[in-house]
Amino acid sequence: MATVGKNGIKIAVVGGGLAGLAAAMKIAEAGHSVDLFSVVPVKRSHSVCAQGGINGAVNTKGEGDSTAEHFDDTVYGGDFLANQPPAKAMCEMAPAIIYLFDRMGVPFSRTKEGLLDFRRFGGTKHHRTAFAGASTGQQLLYALDEQVRRHEAGGKVQKYEGWEMMSLVLDDHQVCRGLVAMDLKTLEMKAFKADAVIMATGGPGLIFGKSTNSMVCTGSAVSACYQQGARYANGEFIQVHPTSIPGEDKLRLMSESARGEGGRVWVPRAKGDTRAPASIPERERWYFLEEKYPAYGNLVPRDIATREIFQVCLDKMGIGGDNQVYLDLTHIPAETLDRKLGAILEIYEMFVGDDPRHVPMRIFPGVHYSMGGLWVDFEQRTNIPGLLAAGECDYSIHGANRLGANSLVSCVFGGFVAAPAAIEFAKNVERNGADSSALYEQELKLQEENNQRLIKQSGNENQYKLHEEMGKWMTDNVTVVRYNDKLKETDNKLLELIDRYDRISINDSNLWATMALPHARHLWNMLQLARVITLGALNRNESRGAHYKPDFPDRDDENFLKTTIAEYSGEGPVISYEAVDSSLIKPRKRDYSKGKQDTAKAAAGAKGSTLPPKDGAPQVLSQDTEQKPKDLSGPAVWNQNKEEVRDVNHGEAETRREQGKSIEDAGGKSDKV
């Protein structure tokens, strides 16, 4: 274990992606100790997959970009479901985050003057995305990995790579006192004490079988927290990326930067046209995004692009009638493509065998990102005192839909906010007696029993086939287009799978470094989380961001401008709702067929409530639009806006029920499912 730092504080960070490493770096820098857990060596975390870039309004192109504009784009893109104060704080910290990475040596692409270069991404009209070739996530993750290694060499960080967190250790007052983890080589389980635990375990893509996510992105760890009492928020908001490359083992992402650099989406105008793409003349091609959304063209936000592509294929207008459309870069000089998109084009070439510089790519939407995640307050604290969350595994920032290149920045921001909040908690938490060793032994025993039961269990069900079945049902019914009857059927299916789970047998008699037992544990947790996603979708009778129901095609702010909260019970998730903090930007209709300032004007005109914006300035009601990046120690802006609801006192050990009550009292409609 890491040598205990000043005040004897030790914090466990679970996950070594961008969010986890950002938090670990901050805690170690503050002089405290970190135990860092990760299934894979942290340098191999899923964050390496991010290709496109990281957002921050630095305005190097003189387009009048500002952090306020970034904030407005983020909230508008998220269809107003995000709590606004943390989103604002993130956008304000973003330029400083990019600068910090620059100082840590990330080889960001440069302008002629030697300054950071920025590109355009979906859902904005500004060049706001810093990028390092086409492997930005890899470069950012490595920069943090290097700094954390430096702290590891200095004795502040102890890594547990190849260890999987299985459950939390909670005391009698539901305060988090540590965790139980399993060594994936020996299958040995151990309980670890911690003064606070930060979850940074990434997204749950594998619930959908094949997705663009890495293989460790099962959501299993957060599902374990949920089953121990942590609230899970907005689970139904799953982003399906418009452009992925269908494969046997996974869906490989074709980054949005391909469209950012001028890639055009089209299909032949004639149904079932089987000519080679190059021999189809311009006028016989249907550039459907450009036609329907003249203001944003191919760079409409993801949910819209996805739905349009999906619909085109449903109408059998896909290439050759199949589930495929073209993403075309062939009009751009190969040299430019190599310089700006080299790495992602190589991926296509490597896995498909065609050269996208000369042949248009064939793509189809794929499950990509979860906007939902563990419920956290504005300081990344979950409802379980001592348990925090950051990165893709928390629900904050992105609302109903995430903008491209906003995730990396939100992961780092989340880590940077969680670290001081965890230290603060650790300083104040009562340690006497409550963390007796019996507590740890008890949880350890429970987890060991769970393993033993699975090892002994026998039956004719195959865990990998159950996983496939779950993935297919979830992909077919709980992604782009959702119908209530299908959602109900899916939940019934999930219940059936949960029932069949008791009849799976671990097909590996050699338990040393086995993949079978960990997968079985993941599968259970995925099934639980799949229900949260499905029932959240069933209950939300509106369309908003990534959540689309043809039977309820409009956004319904009156009933659903609310965060969905799922709480675990033996019978399944209990769903309730919590008000969204929209104190800074008034919700307005999201319409990407117009420029954003037009929608702002329309909203202002209709409601007569705010001044019309000047020159595309956003509808930010706050005065605070200064450009200077905030310092990186964590935001302070939201204090004045903090809603009582979220101001749960984490220093005290409230019971979960009491906290749940305070949520309902605060106006959240409580729909039991």
Partner 1 sequence: MSAQPHTHATPNRTQAATVEIRIRRRENTDAAQYWETFEIPYRPNLNIISCLMEIQKNPVTKDGKQTTPPVWNMNCLEQVCGICTMVINGRVRQSCSALVDQLDQPITLEPMSKFPNVRDLIVDRSQMFDHLKRVHAWIEIDGTHDQGPGPRMDQEDVAERYAYSRCMTCGCCLEACPQYDGDNYIGPQAIAQVRLFNMHPTGKMTRDERLEGIMGDDGITNCGNAQNCVRVCPMSIPLTKAIYEENRETIIHGLFGWLKR
Residues binding ligand FAD (CB under 6 A):
14-20, 37-40, 42, 45-47, 49-54, 136-137, 164-165, 200-203, 212-213, 216-217, 220-221, 253, 255, 368-369, 391-393, 405-408, 411
How many helical (H) and strand (E) elements, i.e. helices and strands, does the chain have? 17, 21
Decide: residue 172, CB within 10 A, 0-12 exposed, 13-18 middle, 19+ buried: exposed
Whether the Cβ atoms of residue 157 and residue 99 lie closer than 8 Å to each other: no
Smallest gap, in angstroms, from Cβ of residue 198 to ligand FAD? 11
Stretch that binds partner 1, among 147-155, 296-304, 558-566, 649-657 (CB under 8 A): 147-155
Dist. CA 419–CA 413, nearest whole Å? 10
User: What would the DSSP string read from start to end of 73-131?
Assistant: HHHHHTTT-S-HHHHHHHHHHHHHHHHHHHHTT----B-TTSSBPEEE-TT-SSEEEE-
Residue 523 is a binding residue for partner 1 (CB under 8 A): no
Question: Of 36 and 319, which has the nearer Cβ to ligand FAD?
Answer: 36
DSSP 538-588: HH--S-BTTB--TTS-S--HHHHSEEEEEEEETTEEEEEEEE---SSS---
Find the radius of gyration of the CA atoms of the chain: 24
The correct pick among 84, 223, 244, 534 for binding partner 1 (CB under 8 A) is 244
Stretch that binds partner 1, among 142-150, 168-176, 258-266, 371-379 (CB under 8 A): 142-150
- What's the DSSP call for residue 444? H
Binding mask 309-348 for partner 1 (x = CB under 8 A): -x--xx-------xxx------------------x---x-
Give the distance from CA 522 to its chain's centroid.
19
CA dist., res. 88 & res. 382, Å (int): 20
Closest approach of partner 1 to the CB of residue 253, in Å: 8
Tokens matching residue 567? 């709480």
Name residue 82's amino acid: A
> Which 366-395 positions form the footprint of partner 1 (CB under 8 A)?
366
Q: Is 252 within 8 Å of 351 (Cβ atoms)? A: yes
158 binds partner 1 (CB under 8 A): no
Q: Which of 65, 79, 92, 152 binds partner 1 (CB under 8 A)?
A: 152
Rounded least distance, CB 477 to ligand FAD, Å:
22
Hunting for tokens 């969680």 — which residue is that? Answer: 418
| Structural contact between residues 490 and 477, judged by C-beta atoms closer than 8 angstroms | yes
Judge contact between 274 and 282, C-beta under 8 A: no
Instruction: Report the nearest approach of ligand FAD to the CB of residue 399 (Å).
Output: 15
Report the residue number, 406 or 463, with the smaller CB distance to ligand FAD: 406
Q: Indicate whether 115 belongs to the interface with partner 1 (CB under 8 A).
A: yes
Alpha helices in 46-83 (DSSP H): 67-77
Q: What binding mask, one character per residue, do residues 452-491 give for partner 1 by CB under 8 A, x or -?
A: ----------x-xx------x--xx---x-----------
Residue number with CB closer to partner 1 (272 or 612): 272
Q: Which stretch binds partner 1 (CB under 8 A): 240-248, 273-281, 492-500, 542-550?
A: 240-248
104 interacts with partner 1 by CB under 8 A = yes
Q: How far is the CB of 219 from partner 1 (least distance, A)?
A: 15
| Catalytic machinery residues | 302
First to last CA, the chain: 43
Neighbour count for residue 517 (Cβ, 10 Å): 19
Shortest distance in whole angstroms from residue 433 CB to ligand FAD: 28
Judged by beta carbon distances under 5 to 8 A according to partner kind, the member of ligand FAD, partner 1, none in contact with residue 476 is partner 1
